[in-house]
Amino acid sequence: MSDGNCQNDVLAPPSSKKIKINNENDVSVSDIEPQLKDFVLEKILNNNTNRKTVCVQGKFKDKSGVALVILEKNAFKEEELDNDGYFSVDSELRTFFQNDIYGNFECFPRASINGVKTTIIYPATEKHIVKFSQQEVHIVLETPELYEKLTLPHLEREQFNLQWVYNILEGRSEADRVVHDNKCEREGFVLLPDLKWDGLTKETLYLLAIVRQRGIKSIRDLDGSHLPLLKRVRDEGKKAILQKYNVKGSQLRIYLHYQPSFYHLHIHFTYLRHEAPGIHAEKSHLLDTVIDNIEMMSDYYKKSTLPFTIREMDNLFTVYETNGHLQRVNNIELIDK
């Protein structure tokens, strides 16, 4: 149990035991042991040729409910660029063309190094479908007044279920993936690989720190009372990543999203060379800058105008559109005509 200031808390090492949740009322990916051969494609939601990802909607044979499957090409691992990997006797080249000193081919390496990162969401809700669908995007400049009047009521009505977050914090799920676990209820957090990362390739390193303190939805809720928590996440997160992955703190991008994908405070740690999704100015806030702003003004993020991106299929877009703050692309086109 924590003392009053959490200064003497013992940092728990990652558990090697995976704990399974048994709840007859829960139906999830772990219950169906999904096989891609049983997946029935119904719709392609998003084919991102830049990031080499695709999200498709469908269902599993003999199962009710919608399923989403996200396929992503893996980054190259430097240790596989040798004669046992891509340059082995098993690699096959098919020629597109050859012209003087230039040749263009398609390479088919052996299957064991040619995997595709696969994420399955089942059963998927309408919110998941909206989240992963390709659509028009807009920027909102959210004042504190707009947050209180439009954004916050919407979040309280429609945010994603956070049970999966609590499962991690309580050690009931993904315990074998935890890199660092500080048990302090006020300043503690769990650090583990993000679902976007395979947990192996340094070049795409991506971890997530989920704080234990409940009730902090986003950067909007932060003030001076949270500085010890934010600094602890930063400092202990850097130390844990250096020890496990040999990546220095100066090589990490540590940031918060606004708006976040789920409304329980979490902080992103990515390798600086990795262009992870959501690192751009309209969404990402560096943790050191957040700390500095709060040190200058305790309620900085309660008074600031914050930008965020919003997609046209999001229900929050409709809220802002109805109140005269946004207009759909198609509507603009009709006006111009």
Residue tagged active-site, from 128, 180, 266, 268: 266
Task: State the chain's maximal CA–CA distance in angstroms.
Answer: 74
Does the active-site annotation cover 138?
Answer: no
Instruction: Give, in order, the Cα–Cα distances in Å from 289 to each of 254, 274, 306.
Output: 10, 20, 14
**281/59 Cα distance (integer angstroms):** 36
**Phi/psi-derived region of residue 279, left when phi > 0, alpha when psi is between -120 and 50, beta in every other case:** alpha
**Beta-carbon neighbour count of residue 262 at 10 Å?**
17
Length of the chain: 337
Residue 56, amino acid: V
Q: Strand order in 284-286's β-sheet?
A: 11-12, 180-182, 189-193, 206-211, 266-271, 252-257, 284-286
Residue 68 near residue 122 (C-beta atoms within 8 A):
yes
Residue 303 near residue 141 (C-beta atoms within 8 A):
no
Residue 25, amino acid: N
Active site residues: 266
